Amino acid sequence: MRVNHEVDALVGPCGRCGDSVPFDVVIDNAIWRGVPNEFRYGVLCLPCIDRVLPEGLHPDSIENVYASTSHGTVALLPVRAK
Ligand SMILES: [Zn+2]
């Protein structure tokens, strides 16, 4: 996926892997408190959130996902794949 940080990305780059973060993911605060302090106050991409949480990121803990384009930001509805 092409990501232009100046146009597309809401935030970024990820403080752990350095990749761009085109999606802003909102997770339950209780789950976020499980993120190690070294990453908790910065930007993390979704795969890194999953990796740093001791038990991984459960899909039900994702409350909202936002994506940004040059025409604006949209909220994506998180739906658990079957
Ligand atoms: Zn990352």
> What are the tens digits of pLDDT across the range 10-50?
566 999 999 988 888 899 999 999 999 999 998 899 999 99
Ligand 1 centroid from CA 12, angstroms: 9
Is residue 62 helix, strand or coil?
strand
1 pLDDT more than 70: no
What is the distance between the alpha carbons of residues 18 and 81, in angstroms, rounded to a whole number? 27
Range ranked top by mean pLDDT from 6-10, 47-51, 73-77? 47-51
> Residue 51 is encoded by which pair of tokens?
């990796």
Query: What is the reported pLDDT for 10?
Result: 56
Element (H, E) at 52: helix 46-52
Residues 6+ apart with CB under 8 A from 72: none
Q: Which of 72, 56, 50, 74 has its CA nearest to residue 64?
A: 74
State in Å: Cα 72 to ligand 1 middle.
23
Q: Kindly report, residue by residue over 53-68, the tens digit of the pLDDT.
A: 999 999 899 999 998 7
CA 21 to ligand 1 center in whole angstroms: 8
